[in-house]
Structure 1
Amino acid sequence: MTTTASSGFGPLRQTVFAVLWVATIIGNIGSFARDIASSWLVTDLSSSPLAVAMVQAAATLPVFLLAIPAGVLSDILDRRKFLIGIQILMASVSICLLLLSATGLQTILSLVALTFVGGIGAALMGPTWQAIVPELVKKQDLRDAVALNSLGINIARAIGPALGGIVLATFGTSVTYGVDVISYLFVITALLWWKRAKTDSDELAEKFFGAFRAGLRYTMASRELHVVLLRTFLFFAFCSSVWALLPLVARRVLGGDAGFYGILLGAVGVGAIAGAFLLPTLRQKCSADGLLLLASIITASVMALLSIAPPQWLAVVALVVLGCGWIIALTTFNGVAQSILPNWVRGRSLAVYLTVFNGAMTAGSLAWGALAQSAGVQETLFIGAIGIIVIGVVSYRLRLPKGESDLLPSNHWPEPLTAEVVEHDRGPVLIQIEYDVDPQHRAPFLKAIYNLAYERRRDGAYNWGITEDSANPRILLEWFMVESWAEHLRQHRRVSKADADIQAELLQYHTGDEPPKVRHFITTPRP
């Protein structure tokens, strides 16, 4: 197949992206092999469904707890060096798993604890790895690069579990963990090879806690992101049932061994690869909302089939179909999230997205495991299938954003006038903008300015309001507050071209020969 932008493979023509993409696939193959070993080992150590679910939860809980701080770090640290450190941490975890398994000292407690530490590495890596994508590809290739990353993960999902199952059945858990250790060497080598462009020192560079607060403010003010997060949580909270219970489905319901469990997960990867190739055609025929409804129907159908204990060959076919639905959902959610985020807060907001995703998977895994403990595995799968259909139909009415806004910085705000140099840490800062609005235009002006309020809050304001002059109702005063002078200067950089369009709409209601008067007030320190 010719690699062209129109085919979705354009980003692979860019060498750095291609090398890191291949290295990531190798690393994920090792990770999936490790997960096979851990998932099967826990069924040897304990027959409790809750113990199986605990291992699943230990892998995702750190991502839920730490993804947002990880996103902050990805926005303020050198991402290349940060990723190298994370890979070393995760390799160390697999070395410990290898040694404990080889010496027969592995227990449920140690397995859960090491899985949790590995989850910390995954929490730190997730938002950072996604945030580097815009650095590796051209803007027009960004969506294809996101899709290729999802494809790469599922290529690894197709190979890793099957490889892990074969190695596990042939050589045992310690050798399987060794495969994962070797895979990290490829990723570290690729990251060392990547000569990331050095960024100039920036006197306005954010510090951790300030960046953390700015990311939370953006998340709280972005209505588009709220829709993505809500629908992500609902979908994956119910879909987590099939992943949390799959080891038990393979062993108890379908009567398989470790190799068969690897085949099932490999089938998911094969289906995901097929789904990735089908996605360009599906996107032409379905909206993002339609794709997610299709993914819900596919997932629910597979879960219902597994609940009646089908023959093993039919279960493998069903897992191929499940993989297709899984990649449709993952790529759709991730693509929409990437398309609505500006670069300055991409790592932090993607971290919030990953927090919601993994929080849904963690809570779902524990809840479905507890339900299976009392109601049974097959009954739980059927209940989950019904829930996915209901949620899919209901959430279809809550439309996802199209992600078509131009989020590049507009740089149209003039530098604020100051009588003297203002220290960056001074604050809070109050900004006032005075408008002269004809009474007949008051209603559309207020509608426009309340839309602008979301932009002010997303870009750094922690408080906002609109007031009128009691002596002259034509004079409307917009005000907002930011925590420091440096944060206000950053706000100048963050205003996007889409935001500039909103401000241009607002200014058409301002009368008078002069533009709206802007004033800045800085808190005066107490003598």
Structure 2
Amino acid sequence: MDVFRSLKSRNYRLFFYGQSISLIGTWMQKTAACWLVYRLTNSAVLLGVVSFVSLIPSLFLSPYAGSYIDRHNRYRLMIITQVISMAQAGALALMILLRFYNIPGIIFLSLVQGIINAFDVTCRQSLMMEMVENKEDLPNAIALNSTMANFARIAGPALAGIVLSTFGEDICFAGNFLSYVPVLISLFMMKMDLPVIVKSERSIWAELREGWQYISHDRDLSSLLLMLTASSLLVMPFNTLMPIFAKDIFNGSARTFSWFESAAGLGSIAAAIYMAQLKAGKDLVKILITSSLIFGLSLVLLSYAGWLPLALLFMTLSGVGMMAQTSAINTYIQTHAIPAMRARAISYYIMAYQGMIPIGSLLTGLMAQWIGPRATVCIAGLTGIVATIVFVQHRRKSQPAAPGIFPSSGKMLTNDRNSARA
């Protein structure tokens, strides 16, 4: 099938299968951790804190990670990050198996995972270009990667809901630890032919400045990253409050919470399949604008839904909008950034995406404590709509001065851009 064309590449196929299993384990653990923290504390603030510490390292470390990865063998680094992630998952699983319900301990291990992810996510994203043999299939591989992640977002919480209600949290944490085994097996089976890394004589800090200059002087990339930053900070963290929606607003259980996570995953996978089928020539910015409006409107409707099936429907639409928004930006960056700057460009994408969400999660938890979860989600949706309108107005003003901005083609405008960067 055309939608799976990037799986013809052996290395990407191995990566895809291994990560599919691991991500299900990750979402099982994430669902179980959120439920455990709220069950033990009944605190929206602590829910925000757990999300904050697990993602805040991306804000500070991602630019450094991008420069570091550009100077080293990405394949070896990915193996190292997966081994360390497995050790972290094992420590957390052991804590829960021994019934050592220590909230500061859970927060600390979440922070450790966040530090690992700052390097791991950037490494995986930048290595994808080398995994795919036919470079024209790269956008398809990016979309399939998102499909895989969002399938796990459906299967992981759904499975976690069953396991939580039947066996308890400890099995979810142990399952995540074991899920790293197929990832490592698939990585060791790869045959990567990476270009030789020429050791740079410049300091990594000089390369950090170079990466910042590249991003800030490219109007296309910088405007898209600003839009993603606004969404990650003010809109996406609404998900932090879903345990409250499930338990308090709809009087549900852990299984009800898993339905909310799975509904968002279902919408995300539908959007990812659409993105995987896109042909060259599709205007990614139009997709970004449409999906951002869908995202914001669905949150406004979700915030005042009084019937659980209707709330799950709006949650599904939020997954459609959020997935298409982030995937369009990710695809644009990976297909337009020059090779020497790809990891650094992706690191700023990770910074704008994962780095902003923890701050937003903390603010969302505090706001929910102050004005309530429904009003907080409504404000997030309205903010997303306003941010989209501002982005559109900014683009209209900038286009006359730069007619080549936001090309609909997936190909890079090498002549204009290289001359501008010289």
**TM, length-normalised to structure 2:** 0.90
**Separation in structure 1 between the aligned mates of residue 295 and residue 410 of structure 2, nearest angstrom:** 32
Q: Of the candidates 101, 114, 118, which is equivalent to residue 123 of structure 1?
A: 118
**Separation in structure 1 between the aligned mates of residue 12 and residue 232 of structure 2, nearest angstrom:** 29
> Which residue does the alignment assign to 1:497?
none
Gapped runs of 5+ residues in structure 2?
Answer: 396-404
> Which residue does the alignment assign to 1:159?
155
CA, structure 1 residues 284+219, in 2 after alignment: closer, same or farther (shift >3 Å)? Answer: closer
| Alpha-carbon offset, residue 293 of structure 1 | 2.8
Query: Do the aligned partners of 2:296 and 2:381 also contact (CA within 8 Å) in 1?
Result: yes
> Which residue does the alignment assign to 2:107?
112
**Separation in structure 1 between the aligned mates of residue 202 and residue 147 of structure 2, nearest angstrom:** 34
1:401 partner amino acid: F
> Which residue does the alignment assign to 2:33?
38
Q: Of the candidates 283, 290, 293, which is equivalent to residue 286 of structure 2?
A: 290
> Which residue does the alignment assign to 2:22?
27
Quick check: 86-95 or 307-316, which moved more?
Answer: 307-316
| Alpha-carbon offset, residue 286 of structure 1 | 7.3
Secondary structure class of the residue paired with 1:359: coil
> Which residue does the alignment assign to 1:49?
44
Secondary structure class of the residue paired with 1:77: coil
| Alpha-carbon offset, residue 186 of structure 1 | 0.8
Q: Of the candidates 192, 203, 207, which is equivalent to residue 196 of structure 1?
A: 192
Query: Do the aligned partners of 1:76 and 1:205 also contact (CA within 8 Å) in 2?
Result: no
Q: Of the candidates 356, 363, 366, which is equivalent to residue 360 of structure 1?
A: 356
Residues 1:235 and 2:231 are matched in the alignment: yes
Gapped runs of 5+ residues in structure 1?
Answer: 411-447, 457-527
Secondary structure class of the residue paired with 1:132: helix
Query: Do the aligned partners of 1:233 and 1:356 also contact (CA within 8 Å) in 2?
Result: yes
Query: Do the aligned partners of 2:283 and 2:407 also contact (CA within 8 Å) in 1?
Result: no
Post-superposition CA distance 1:305-357 (Å, at most 9, x none): 33224222222222222221122111111111112201111111110111111
> Which residue does the alignment assign to 2:60?
65
1:278 partner amino acid: Y
Q: Of the candidates 240, 246, 254, which is equivalent to residue 244 of structure 1?
A: 240
**Separation in structure 2 between the aligned mates of residue 105 and residue 124 of structure 1, nearest angstrom:** 29
CA, structure 1 residues 284+238, in 2 after alignment: closer, same or farther (shift >3 Å)? Answer: farther
**Separation in structure 2 between the aligned mates of residue 268 and residue 120 of structure 1, nearest angstrom:** 26
Query: Do the aligned partners of 2:297 and 2:382 also contact (CA within 8 Å) in 1?
Result: no
2:131 partner amino acid: L
Any residues of structure 2 matched to 1:189-338 within 5 Å, and which? Answer: 189-197=185-193, 199-200=195-196, 202=198, 208-279=204-275, 287-338=283-334
CA, structure 1 residues 346+309, in 2 after alignment: closer, same or farther (shift >3 Å)? Answer: same
Any residues of structure 2 matched to 1:141-152 within 5 Å, and which? Answer: 141-152=137-148
Taking only the aligned residue pairs, the percentage that are identical comes to 26
**TM, length-normalised to structure 1:** 0.73
Q: Of the candidates 171, 175, 187, which is equivalent to residue 171 of structure 2?
A: 175
Question: RMSD value over aligned CA atoms?
Answer: 2.5
Name the structure where helix makes up a greater proportion of residues: 2
> Which residue does the alignment assign to 1:473?
none
Post-superposition CA distance 1:17-45 (Å, at most 9, x none): 11111111111111111101111011022
Post-superposition CA distance 1:460-504 (Å, at most 9, x none): xxxxxxxxxxxxxxxxxxxxxxxxxxxxxxxxxxxxxxxxxxxxx
| Alpha-carbon offset, residue 159 of structure 1 | 0.9
Post-superposition CA distance 1:82-108 (Å, at most 9, x none): 111111111111111112112222222
| Alpha-carbon offset, residue 281 of structure 1 | 7.3
**Separation in structure 2 between the aligned mates of residue 281 and residue 129 of structure 1, nearest angstrom:** 22
CA, structure 1 residues 11+453, in 2 after alignment: closer, same or farther (shift >3 Å)? Answer: closer
Query: Do the aligned partners of 1:240 and 1:360 also contact (CA within 8 Å) in 2?
Result: no
Post-superposition CA distance 1:414-437 (Å, at most 9, x none): xxxxxxxxxxxxxxxxxxxxxxxx
> Which residue does the alignment assign to 1:502?
none
Report the number of matched residues: 412
CA, structure 1 residues 403+305, in 2 after alignment: closer, same or farther (shift >3 Å)? Answer: closer
Q: Of the candidates 162, 176, 181, which is equivalent to residue 185 of structure 1?
A: 181
CA, structure 1 residues 67+452, in 2 after alignment: closer, same or farther (shift >3 Å)? Answer: closer
> Which residue does the alignment assign to 1:401?
406
Query: Do the aligned partners of 1:290 and 1:396 also contact (CA within 8 Å) in 2?
Result: no
| Alpha-carbon offset, residue 280 of structure 1 | 6.3
Larger Rg: 1
> Which residue does the alignment assign to 1:96?
91
Query: Do the aligned partners of 2:292 and 2:384 also contact (CA within 8 Å) in 1?
Result: yes
> Which residue does the alignment assign to 1:455?
421
| Alpha-carbon offset, residue 285 of structure 1 | 11
> Which residue does the alignment assign to 2:347?
351
| Alpha-carbon offset, residue 405 of structure 1 | 8.4
Secondary structure class of the residue paired with 1:9: helix
1:43 partner amino acid: Y
Q: Of the candidates 387, 390, 410, which is equivalent to residue 391 of structure 1?
A: 387
Q: Of the candidates 13, 22, 39, which is equivalent to residue 18 of structure 1?
A: 13
**Separation in structure 1 between the aligned mates of residue 391 and residue 197 of structure 2, nearest angstrom:** 45
1:272 partner amino acid: S
CA, structure 1 residues 324+200, in 2 after alignment: closer, same or farther (shift >3 Å)? Answer: closer
**Separation in structure 2 between the aligned mates of residue 257 and residue 63 of structure 1, nearest angstrom:** 32
Higher relative contact order (CA 8 A, sep 6+): 2
Query: Do the aligned partners of 1:64 and 1:359 also contact (CA within 8 Å) in 2?
Result: yes
Secondary structure class of the residue paired with 1:33: helix
CA, structure 1 residues 217+83, in 2 after alignment: closer, same or farther (shift >3 Å)? Answer: same
Query: Do the aligned partners of 2:122 and 2:350 also contact (CA within 8 Å) in 1?
Result: yes
**Separation in structure 2 between the aligned mates of residue 379 and residue 405 of structure 1, nearest angstrom:** 39
